């Protein structure tokens, strides 16, 4: 009779129970020493099953099941966190129309009071040497005597009570932002992608050097182009009835 894996495991378990050593077990036409050692350890830890445990489903297998067997297709663009409801689309349209009206489609003098703020990771040469930028991305030079209107997305750090309290104490007006709308955030569709493209491939010897390069890249950005694109996107969102759009 040809012995299979479970036969050898049964023999190994028996030899362990009669207190044979691993070397003595090898004399009985057992499998390789590493196999004996592994199963001795398994049985000493309390294992009683001689069968293999079910193998974990690999990522490739999951993709095959989803696409080939279930027919699931990828419908969501990388800019879309999830499919919008009709209420969310309506909220986006309402916000765009309100903002366009307030700033006269970008022609109002109040435009020069707007500051766009966000954070981004900056990487040095070594992956573990990374530091989060503490710089608010500014697109326009603002007169200190002029009031500031801060526009940022709805990240939890931006909407936290302490953050709002600080902005209120500093007399900074917070411009609201529609939920789930990275396509309407200048830092997401314009500023940060351009900065990362500029810094890609560069190596910095210190976190401070990376942050300094980030600041220089911010100052070199064409502010007018960013804001013109922003208001064009608002109108596009209205025309599309609140639907997402990628890099239009």
| pTM for the predicted model, two decimal places | 0.57
pLDDT tens digits along 36-58: 777 677 777 777 677 765 555 55
Highest mean pLDDT range out of 73-82, 172-181, 199-208?
Answer: 172-181
Cα-Cα-Cα-Cα torsion 145, 146, 148, 149, nearest 10 degrees, comes to 170
Could you tell me the pLDDT band of residue 94, with boundaries at 50, 70 and 90? very high
For residue 248, pLDDT beyond 50: no
> What integer pLDDT is reported at residue 85 of this predicted model?
87
> What integer pLDDT is reported at residue 59 of this predicted model?
55
Count the domains in the chain. 2
- My answer on whether 11 and 124 are in the same domain is no
Within a domain: 119: yes
- My answer on whether 23 and 136 are in the same domain is no
Q: Dihedral sign, CA of 102, 105, 108, 110?
A: positive
- My answer on whether 91 and 143 are in the same domain is yes
For residue 81, pLDDT beyond 50: no
Domain that holds residue 20: 5-54
Could you tell me the pLDDT band of residue 103, with boundaries at 50, 70 and 90? very high
Taking alpha carbons only, the member of 195, 197, 199, 182 closest to residue 137 is 195
- My answer on whether 105 and 225 are in the same domain is yes
- My answer on whether 222 and 125 are in the same domain is yes
- My answer on whether 161 and 223 are in the same domain is yes
pLDDT tens digits along 160-197: 888 888 888 888 899 999 988 889 999 888 988 888 88
- My answer on whether 94 and 25 are in the same domain is no
- My answer on whether 154 and 226 are in the same domain is yes
Q: Which H helix or E strand runs over 123?
A: strand 121-123
**Taking every pair of C-alpha atoms in the chain, what is the biggest distance, in angstroms?**
94
Could you tell me if 140 and 112 are in contact, meaning their C-beta atoms sit under 8 angstroms apart?
yes
């Amino acid at each position: 009779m040809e012995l299979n894996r479970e036969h050898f495991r049964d023999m190994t378990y028996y030899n362990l129970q009669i207190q044979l050593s691993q070397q003595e077990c090898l004399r009985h036409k057992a499998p390789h020493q590493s196999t004996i050692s592994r199963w001795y350890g398994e049985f000493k830890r309390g294992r009683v099953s001689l069968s293999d445990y079910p193998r974990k489903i690999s990522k490739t297998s999951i993709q095959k099941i989803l696409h080939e067997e279930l027919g699931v297709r990828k419908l969501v663009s990388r800019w879309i966190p999830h499919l919008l409801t009709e209420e969310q689309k309506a909220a986006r349209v309402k916000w765009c129309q309100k903002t366009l009206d307030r700033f006269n489609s970008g022609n109002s003098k109040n435009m020069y009071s707007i500051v766009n703020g966000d954070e981004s990771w900056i990487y040095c040469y070594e992956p573990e040497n990374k530091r989060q930028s503490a710089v608010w991305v500014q697109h326009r030079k603002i007169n200190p005597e002029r009031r500031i209107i801060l526009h940022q997305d709805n990240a939890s750090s931006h909407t936290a009570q302490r953050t709002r309290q600080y902005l209120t104490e500093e007399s900074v007006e917070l411009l609201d932002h529609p939920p789930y709308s990275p396509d309407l955030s200048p830092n997401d569709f314009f500023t940060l992608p351009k900065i990362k493209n500029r810094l890609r491939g560069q190596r910095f010897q210190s976190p401070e050097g990376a942050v300094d390069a980030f600041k220089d890249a911010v100052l070199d950005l064409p502010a007018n182009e960013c804001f013109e694109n922003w208001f064009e996107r608002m109108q596009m969102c209205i025309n599309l009835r609140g639907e997402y759009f990628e890099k239009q």
